[in-house]
Amino acid sequence: MPRQSEKQRIVPKLHRPAEAADGVHVHPLHQAEFLTTAAEWGQLPAGGAPEIAFAGRSNAGKSSAINALTQRTRLAYVSKTPGRTQHINLFRLRSGALLADLPGYGYAKVPEAMRRHWQHFIAKYLAQRAPLIGLLLVMDARHPLTELDWQMFGWFLPTGRPVHVLLTKCDKLGTEAQRRTLETVRKALTDAYGERSAQVGVQLFSATRRIGIAEAEVALASWLGPLAH
């Protein structure tokens, strides 16, 4: 993929979210549009606008979660082929902040050299990307905390920045199973990370049934700070 020019990579200055005609503030996530795609470090946007990354195992519902939270039907491409996305897609909010859709992990059938490249790139992105203010980690509520999920925590938590876990497709579980899953994930994180687990929020989520959207919006708005008001 050709490298982008510096002019193409400039991010507009940040400004406050829009107001609806009745004077009610529009949530900053609801003004997203596609900005660019990056397959290597040099293609990431310059300018320092705050970024929130979305990550998760392939087929866990990451694209559906992005579409639900931004109130767009096809902002993030929902593929029936797990692991289809092999680059970072970046979307710009009206405030100037960015959402970064990371490649789904776990299913992609790619050459080993490409797999190593992506493992290195994503690890570096999570550990060293200066504008990154938080990670939204998507897990299928029926299969949470896979080995690769733990790897994402291992890369990101040492930065001291927050993680918010969406236990997606929770509508496929009964009420009691949802409660047990939520408690089990929270306890596992507390056991693994102790006080550092305070960096991690965990919630139930379903894009199709619109469960947990308001809760996730509050969490992400808290990361954006003044940009969300």
pLDDT level of residue 132 (50, 70, 90 thresholds): very high
Q: pTM value? A: 0.84
The continuous run of DSSP H or E covering 115 comes out as helix 112-128
Under DSSP, the state recorded for 17 is: P
Going by C-beta distance under 8 Å and a sequence separation of 6 or more, which residues neighbour residue 137? 55, 56, 149, 152, 153, 163, 164, 165, 166
Domain ranges of the chain: 14-228
pLDDT level of residue 142 (50, 70, 90 thresholds): very high
Is domain 14-228 given the CATH code 3.40.50.150 in the classification?
no
Residue pair 131/51 in contact (Cβ under 8 Å)? The answer is yes
Residue 141 token pair: 């509520």
B/e letters for 91-115, b = 16+ CB within 10 Å, e = fewer, are: bbbbbbbbbbbbbbbeebeeeeeee
Does residue 73 or residue 213 have the better pLDDT?
A: 213
A 10 A CB-CB count for 227 gives 19
Give the model confidence (pLDDT) of 159-201 as tens digits: 999 999 999 999 999 999 999 999 999 999 999 999 999 999 9
pLDDT level of residue 27 (50, 70, 90 thresholds): low
The continuous run of DSSP H or E covering 134 comes out as strand 132-140
Give the model confidence (pLDDT) of 33-76 as tens digits: 899 999 899 999 998 899 999 999 988 999 899 999 998 776 66
**Mean pLDDT of the chain, nearest integer:** 84
Angle between helices 112-128 and 147-156 (to 10 degrees): 40
- Any idea which of 70-79, 84-93, 146-155, 193-202 has the lowest mean pLDDT? 70-79
117 three-class SS = helix
pLDDT level of residue 113 (50, 70, 90 thresholds): confident
